[in-house]
Amino acid sequence: MDLKIDRINELYRKSKSVGLTEEEKVEQAELRKAYVQAFHNNLRGNLDSMKIQHPDGTIENVKDRYKPKNK
């Protein structure tokens, strides 16, 4: 992933200085999309493993907070 971030940064700097070719623009878009997806998956994994302890001592999984409640 570090190589992808380095390449994203390299393409960004080049876009600001001399501009990108069409192929580089496509590569940049694909790298950014992959980075955002990886970031999202990592965040989701962290949130899914978190637990909240309420003042009454009960523990609730964060991922269960957003499940639809049956009425």
Q: What is 16-39 written as a DSSP string?
A: HHT---HHHHHHHHHHHHHHHHHH
Query: Is the pTM above the cut of 0.75?
Result: no
In a domain, 70, yes or no: no
Q: What is the pLDDT of residue 67?
A: 73
Phi, psi of 21 (to 5 degrees): -75, 170
In a domain, 57, yes or no: yes
In a domain, 25, yes or no: yes
Q: What is the pLDDT of residue 6?
A: 93
In a domain, 71, yes or no: no
- Domain containing 49: what range? 2-65
pLDDT in tens, 5-49: 999 999 999 999 999 999 999 999 999 999 999 999 999 889 888
- The CATH number that applies at residue 9 is 1.20.58
pLDDT in tens, 46-63: 988 899 999 999 999 888
Q: What is the pLDDT of residue 47?
A: 85
